[in-house]
Amino acid sequence: MSFVSLLFLVVFLPASVLLARLIPERFRNTFLLLVSLLFYAWSAGRNLPVLLGEMVFTYFAARELQRRRARGDTGTLSFCLLADTVLLAAVLAVYKYSGLPLPAGISFFTFSALSCLFDVGRGKADAEKNPVSLWLYLAFFPKVLMGPIAQYADMLPQMDSHPVSAASLERGTLRFLAGLFKKVLLADAFGDAFRQIHALPQMASMTAVLGTVFYGLQLYYDFSGYSDMAIGAASMFGFRLPRNFDHPYTAGSASDFWRRWHITLGAWFRDYVYIPLGGSRAGKARLVLNLAVVWLLTGIWHGNTVNFVLWGLWWGIIVILEKLVLARFLDKLSGVLRCALVNLAAFSGWIFFFSPTPGDCLHWWGQIFGAAGAGFWNSQTTWYLTGNLILLAAGIAACGTIPARLVSRIRKCRGRSGVWILAGLTALLLLLSVARILSSTYQTFLYAAF
């Protein structure tokens, strides 16, 4: 079941929110766990045993780590933590690399499970004694398929108490709708435009550039849209999930970009890999090694093809160069120029993402540099640009803070007129979204493949 299916939007989510409010508080987590398992079974039924297995394993493993930690048995504690990590990483690796169909959300719920074990093993948080609370943390339906990857120590206090207020319900609904608009009206439209260009056997340089821009915007609105829907849905049940995107295409440096793009994955690697390895405090050589390890793992996490490894290395090299060499030069450039350079690196990197093989990647680069012999700009370019001009303008404008400022300005309108204008706009966008969902073929979320 997808977040953008009518079944989810009209039946599953409203019914879950309503029933969760009616059910006594002490049974609420149990209800949400059952609803989450139903959601997962509906989305990826045959892989439910994998999720259940990881849930049960994580509960007992965390309790075992807690027991050893309480006894001061640090030697066996480290060994157990290592063995647990190897097992969960091996499960993930087998699914990613053996050719078995990838269970939906396995990269996300496995990282949540590892977060729990690391936090308990290192004494950052206690093992949750109530299995329902821990299992809900792992399988909570808004985040189980595509994150955000909430860290265990941050989520633990919410598992006992997540009161739903009118404000959280309203906030959640608006956030969910914002995500829906991003996915249905922007991401899917950019996806259609990209697929048309990608299907061309040969193209002019600027057509290839336009295709790359379409894909970059599709990916951003697809994943940030999903994240907004997840955060919004969680808020309807009183949970606060961490932010996953913060206007990444307005970043002023590569490091800044990664503090704004898929924030929770970056934070996971920072807290559980980069800092334990020594971070930036152990000299320049160690810093380079640590960054290389983190970016290699980030690439591998995304997929089982060479292209994702190359994409990880691409960002690793850029971030390392920026930290060691380029930072002092970048500081002298204007904000707009720095932002343009970051976007050049980001959009170039997406070519690794949408190309199935390094050969296809080189082929696309060849098209950008005119290897197809179709020139710099031709009638195709004009057609695809003019045909998608409004979409492109809206997509670029919405990358920044323009929508938030616009909403804030409308809210400040005299009397209740601002509220009515916003309500009207929301209703219009909702109508357009539903119309598009009904009229177009279903398009899956891109990050569901990871």
Partner 1 sequence: MNVSESRGRQERRKWDTWRHRLLPDGIFSLGRTAAAVFLIAVISAQLLSGRVSGSSWDSVRAAVNAAAGILSDDTTQAQDLPDAAVEVQNDASTEPARTEGDARMIRRLYGLDEQTYENAQLYYPSASLGADELFLVRLKTPDQADMVRQAMEARKAAQMKNFEGYAPESYRKAAGSRIEVSGGYALYVSGDDAERIVEAFRKAL
Q: Which residues are catalytic?
A: 302
C-alpha–C-alpha distance, residues 157 and 152, integer Å: 9
Tokens standing for residue 173: 């609904």
**Torsion of the alpha carbons at 421, 424, 428 and 431, rounded to the nearest 10:** 160
Q: Of the two residues 257 and 450, which places its CB atom closer to partner 1 in the complex?
A: 450
Q: DSSP per residue over 220-236, as a string?
A: HHHHHHHHHHHHHHHHH
Q: Of the two residues 67 and 411, which places its CB atom closer to partner 1 in the complex?
A: 67
Q: Find the shortest distance in angstroms from Cβ 7 to partner 1.
A: 16
Give every CB contact of residue 88 below 8 A, 6+ residues apart in sequence: 54, 57, 58, 110, 113, 114, 117
Kindly list the residues in this chain that would bind partner 1 in the complex (CB under 8 A).
25-26, 44, 46-47, 49-50, 53-54, 56-57, 59-61, 63-64, 67, 84, 87, 91, 94-95, 98-102, 129-130, 160-161, 163, 192, 195-196, 198-203, 305, 356-357, 359-360, 374, 379-380, 383-384, 387, 440-442, 444
DSSP conformational letter for 261: S
By CB neighbour count within 10 A (0-12 exposed, 13-18 middle, 19+ buried), where does 389 fall?
Answer: exposed
Q: Of the two residues 132 and 229, which places its CB atom closer to partner 1 in the complex?
A: 132
DSSP conformational letter for 277: T
C-alpha–C-alpha distance, residues 92 and 109, integer Å: 10
Alpha carbon of 97 to those of 84, 305, 393: distances in Å?
20, 9, 40
Query: What is the phi/psi pair of residue 299, to 5°?
Result: -65, -45
Q: Find the shortest distance in angstroms from Cβ 203 to partner 1.
A: 7
Helix (H) or strand (E) holding 374: none
Q: Find the shortest distance in angstroms from Cβ 368 to partner 1.
A: 16
Residue with tokens 């079941």: 1
Q: Find the shortest distance in angstroms from Cβ 53 to partner 1.
A: 4
Q: Of the two residues 197 and 345, which places its CB atom closer to partner 1 in the complex?
A: 197
Q: Find the shortest distance in angstroms from Cβ 52 to partner 1.
A: 8
C-alpha–C-alpha distance, residues 242 and 153, integer Å: 12
Q: Give per-residue burial for 134-171: e unless 16+ CB within 10 Å, then b.
A: bbbbbbbbbbbbbbbbbbbbbbbebbeebebeeebbeb
Q: Find the shortest distance in angstroms from Cβ 197 to partner 1.
A: 10
Give every CB contact of residue 410 below 8 A, 6+ residues apart in sequence: 418, 421, 422, 425
Q: Of the two residues 167 and 285, which places its CB atom closer to partner 1 in the complex?
A: 167
Q: Of the two residues 144 and 251, which places its CB atom closer to partner 1 in the complex?
A: 144
Q: Find the shortest distance in angstroms from Cβ 15 to partner 1.
A: 23
Q: Of the two residues 210 and 291, which places its CB atom closer to partner 1 in the complex?
A: 210
List % helix, strand, coil for the chain (3-state, nearest 5): 75, 0, 25
Q: Of the two residues 334 and 439, which places its CB atom closer to partner 1 in the complex?
A: 439
Q: Of the two residues 203 and 319, which places its CB atom closer to partner 1 in the complex?
A: 203
Q: Find the shortest distance in angstroms from Cβ 360 to partner 1.
A: 6
Q: Find the shortest distance in angstroms from Cβ 202 to partner 1.
A: 6
Given a contact cutoff of 8 angstroms between Cβ atoms, the answer to whether 307 and 353 are in contact is yes
Give every CB contact of residue 322 below 8 A, 6+ residues apart in sequence: 253, 254, 255, 330
CA neighbours within 13 Å on the CB side: how many for 271? 21
